Amino acid sequence: MHFSEVTGQALAKQGLLNLWHSGKLPHALMITGKEGTGGLALALALTQYIFCEQKGDQDSCGHCAGCTKVQKLAHPDLHISFPSIPPKPGVKASSKVYMGEFREFVQQSPYGSTFDWLQFINAENKQGNITAEECRDIIETLNMTAFEGGYKVQLIWRPEYLGKEGNILLKLIEEPPQQTLIFMIAEETEDVLNTILSRTQQVNLLPLTVAEITDALVTRNQADPRRAAQAAQLAEGSYSNALQLLNYTGSDLLLPLREWFNGVFTHNGITVNKWVEDMGKTGREQQKNFLLFTQQLLGHALRMTLIPGYVPSLPEDEAAFAGKLAQRNFAPEIYEKIDEAINKTIYHIERNAHSRTQLLYLSLQVQYLIQGQELKVFA
Ligand SMILES: [Zn+2]
């Protein structure tokens, strides 16, 4: 992986390159970022840069022997540990057993979550783990001479899964052998042993911006630009969330929103019922995404109402739609109540309530709210 292939994270990339160029790259790094922000991708780009035989100032060459071996996760001086499960009863979990699968997983989804990974190896409801044996193995391996005479790099993806066994590694992390680098990639430092945290230098990753995610979806996943923008807006800074949204969201979300609001705003029961029927046929994830999308657009419309000159960062037709809503000058309380009603609907849909009933009830609530009334329920 090139640095240029890592989405966003410009500050972290430059910081790491600066440390390398000044000869101050610490021997133990903790790269922390929420799922889908690219911790593993960044660690792999740094590793490739270190092993690259013809590196430039800013990136690895991508075609030398060093680069090629890292790309295949097959460099003899690159060691990787990650959560795994016992391959069969009576046999301990070990990264070595799953190395082939891990290579495949990283090829397919370098931004994949631990959950995705455990699904990938059919862990079902088994908890992943990095065992005490594996920790001892890491110490032994890193104490051997490098195969190629240069650096040895140990990646630990998700040190959260070390549990207290991680204490076995303390001495190694504190005083690693010559030319040995340990990069850990965490999602939540809260779940990493303090004894490990205090011995590593932290690199914190930011959530990705909507623009960064949109760009990645369009250029890497050949997503349709407007669907990419919609998924990016809902992804909470995570590339993997955005990819999932893209998969779940079968189609453009603005179309059903238009149809729904047309029905609701003109009190057209037939249109609303048709919308409820159509939306009810889609899956719960799609319904949830649609409602989240609606909340976002309403948020923009409210800002357009309140802030003169506010320009939403939305595709043109979505911005125009939000603009039309804003022209109606609804009071902020109305937006607030609609938002609340949508939250409740999402809550119930997530808990397997009958979605058509929920969507119809929501439609009625919105219809009342925009007339400055509240729907009274006898219950
Ligand atoms: Zn290279």
pLDDT of residue 283: 83
pLDDT of residue 363: 96
**Rounded to the nearest whole angstrom, what is the distance from the C-alpha of residue 69 to the centroid of ligand 1?**
9
**Rounded to the nearest whole angstrom, what is the distance from the C-alpha of residue 47 to the centroid of ligand 1?**
11
Helical segments of 222-315, H only: 225-234, 239-248, 254-265, 269-281, 284-306
| Structure confidence by residue, pLDDT tens digits, 193-202 | 999 999 999 9
The domains of the chain are located at 3-206, 211-247, 250-369
Residues 124-150, mean pLDDT to the nearest whole number: 93
pLDDT level of residue 249 (50, 70, 90 thresholds): low
Please indicate whether the domains covering 3-206 and 250-369 agree at the CATH topology level. Answer: no
Q: Residue type at 321?
A: F
**Rounded to the nearest whole angstrom, what is the distance from the C-alpha of residue 178 to the centroid of ligand 1?**
22
**Rounded to the nearest whole angstrom, what is the distance from the C-alpha of residue 59 to the centroid of ligand 1?**
9
pLDDT level of residue 251 (50, 70, 90 thresholds): low
pLDDT above 70 coverage of the chain, percent: 98
**Rounded to the nearest whole angstrom, what is the distance from the C-alpha of residue 106 to the centroid of ligand 1?**
19
pLDDT of residue 260: 96
Reported pTM: 0.77
**Rounded to the nearest whole angstrom, what is the distance from the C-alpha of residue 52 to the centroid of ligand 1?**
4
Which two structure tokens, joined as six digits, stand for 69? Answer: 């071996």
Q: Residue type at 15?
A: G
Helix (H, G, I), strand (E, B) or coil at 122: coil
pLDDT of residue 248: 66
| Structure confidence by residue, pLDDT tens digits, 52-101 | 999 999 999 999 999 999 999 999 999 999 999 999 888 999 999 999 99
209 CB burial (10 A radius; 0-12, 13-18, 19+): middle
Q: CA nearest 80: which of 47, 113, 58, 49?
A: 47
For residue 225, pLDDT beyond 50: yes
For residue 325, pLDDT beyond 70: yes
Q: Residue type at 50?
A: I
Residue 185: strand pairing partners: 31, 157
Specify the fold of 3-206. Rossmann fold (3.40.50)
Q: What angle do CA 143, 148, 154 make, to 5 degrees?
A: 45
Residues 133-153, mean pLDDT to the nearest whole number: 95
Torsion sign across C-alpha atoms 125, 127, 128, 132: negative
| Structure confidence by residue, pLDDT tens digits, 335-366 | 999 999 999 999 999 888 899 999 999 999 99
pLDDT of residue 378: 57
**Rounded to the nearest whole angstrom, what is the distance from the C-alpha of residue 127 to the centroid of ligand 1?**
37
**Rounded to the nearest whole angstrom, what is the distance from the C-alpha of residue 68 to the centroid of ligand 1?**
7
- Axis-axis angle for helices 284-306, 332-350 (nearest 10): 170
Separation CA 285–CA 281 (nearest Å): 12
Separation CA 167–CA 194 (nearest Å): 10
End-to-end Cα distance, the chain: 58
Residue with tokens 């945290």: 197
Range in 86-90, 170-174, 282-286, 323-327 the model is least confident about = 282-286
pLDDT level of residue 286 (50, 70, 90 thresholds): confident
Which two structure tokens, joined as six digits, stand for 18? Answer: 């600066």
Q: Residue type at 11?
A: L
Which CATH code fits 250-369?
1.20.272
**Rounded to the nearest whole angstrom, what is the distance from the C-alpha of residue 219 to the centroid of ligand 1?**
23
Q: What is the DSSP letter of 75?
A: -
For residue 250, pLDDT beyond 60: no
**Rounded to the nearest whole angstrom, what is the distance from the C-alpha of residue 305 to the centroid of ligand 1?**
53
What backbone torsions phi and psi does residue 43 show, to the nearest 5 degrees?
A: -65, -40
pLDDT of residue 379: 46
**Rounded to the nearest whole angstrom, what is the distance from the C-alpha of residue 279 to the centroid of ligand 1?**
50
pLDDT of residue 17: 98
Q: CA nearest 172: which of 158, 152, 192?
A: 152
What residues flank ion ligand 1 with Cβ within 5 A?
52, 60-61, 64, 67
pLDDT above 90 coverage of the chain, percent: 78
**Rounded to the nearest whole angstrom, what is the distance from the C-alpha of residue 13 to the centroid of ligand 1?**
17
pLDDT level of residue 124 (50, 70, 90 thresholds): confident
For residue 324, pLDDT beyond 70: yes
Q: What angle do CA 297, 299, 304 make, to 5 degrees?
A: 95
What integer best gives the mean pLDDT of the chain?
93
**Cβ count near 308 (within 10 Å):** 6
For residue 315, pLDDT beyond 90: no
**Rounded to the nearest whole angstrom, what is the distance from the C-alpha of residue 46 to the centroid of ligand 1?**
12
Q: What is the DSSP letter of 307?
A: S
